[in-house]
Amino acid sequence: MIAMGNLLFESGHAKTAAKYFQQSLVYNPKEIQALIGLANALYDMGEPKEAVQYYKRAIEIDDGISDVYYNLANALYLLKSVDEAIENYKKALELNPKKVECFYNLGNSYCNKNDYSQAIQFYLNAIALDPLHDPAFYNLGYAYHRTGQLEQAIHSYKLAIKLNPTSSECHFNLASAYSDHGDVDSAIAEYKESLQHDPENVDCIFHIAQIQEEKGQLAEAYTYYKKALGINTTSNRASDGVRRLKKIMDDKGIKYNE
């Protein structure tokens, strides 16, 4: 029954797999592979609370399996039990110190707690083990950004983009870091690059309009405010920008495209 459950789970049939694991547990409630299999199936079915119970039962029988602590931590994180998730990620690492995703998820957990200094260290650990882990570079950039370390943030975002050049979010956050650093031309270039991969990102369009308005490029800013309003007709920021710039340009006799 366990072998069939595993086969079904690996084939993407978690619900049916769960039934086989449950049947196995009827015969032997301490069958650890059935407990782990059922926990994994429940997690895959979107039932992390139930999965936690079976992961914990498995640990009571054998507390030396790194992946069980790791999966338990993932389930706890989904349940917003972040402190308990951190505890179990660390236990997983004690048993497997080279598990990259443990370091990465610890970084995410500390970000969730707004403890960005700790998050940075765990992202760096993940990257040391896997230098091609672009989500770790991206989140490292975010953590640096939140702590005001803008040059490090820019560097990390650039490395994330090198690994994943089509990520709209990476380009957007790099643009934001450039803007905060005072490099508005680079910011505009990255916001525009972000739009290449997500053309209807209203926030991105609005930021371009804002920067162009601040630079005195009123006609260009007006075009982007109108573009944002065309995508989101209820955007007060965009409609205010359109009205404000139209009045200014009308008063100054500046030509613009309607």
Average pLDDT of 152-163?
98
Question: Is 17 within the bounds of a domain?
Answer: yes
Residue 134 CA neighbour count, 13 Å, CB half? 13
109 domain residue, yes or no: no
Instruction: Answer yes or no: are the C-beta atoms of 156 and 164 closer than 8 Å.
Output: no
> CB of 17 within 8 A of CB of 6?
yes
CA distance 192 to 181: 18
Q: Give the structural domain span for 67.
A: 1-97
H or E element: which one contains 127? helix 116-129
3-state secondary structure of 45: coil
Q: What is the rounded end-to-end Cα distance, in angstroms, of the chain?
A: 69
Please indicate, yes or no, if residue 114 is contained in any of the structural domains. no
Residue written as token pair 């650890």? 32
Domain of 79, CATH number, reads 1.25.40.10
Residue for token pair 């979010």: 169
Alpha carbon separation from 110 to 63, 77, 106 (Å, rounded)? 25, 11, 6
CB-based burial of residue 104 (10 Å sphere; 0-12 exposed, 13-18 middle, 19+ buried)? Answer: buried
pLDDT at 258 over 80: no
> Is residue 85 situated within a structural domain?
yes
Instruction: Tell me the average pLDDT across 33-50.
Output: 98
Is residue 116 in a domain?
A: no
Q: How many domains does the chain have?
A: 1
181-216 confidence digits (pLDDT tens): 999 999 999 999 999 999 999 999 999 999 999 999
In a domain, 42, yes or no: yes
Name the band, by pLDDT with cuts 50, 70 and 90, for residue 255.
confident
Can you give the pLDDT at residue 1?
A: 87
Q: For residue range 47-78, what is the model confidence (pLDDT) as tens digits? A: 999 999 999 999 999 999 999 999 999 999 99
The 10 Å Cβ neighbour count of residue 33 is 14
Q: What is the pTM of this model?
A: 0.92
Contact 31, 25 (CB under 8 A): yes
Q: Is the residue at 227 inside a domain? A: no
| Residue the block writes with tokens 């359109």 | 242
Distance of alpha carbon 190 from alpha carbon 231, whole angstroms: 20
Per-residue pLDDT at 257 exceeds 90? no
- For residue 15, give both structure tokens: 């619900």
Domain presence at residue 70: yes
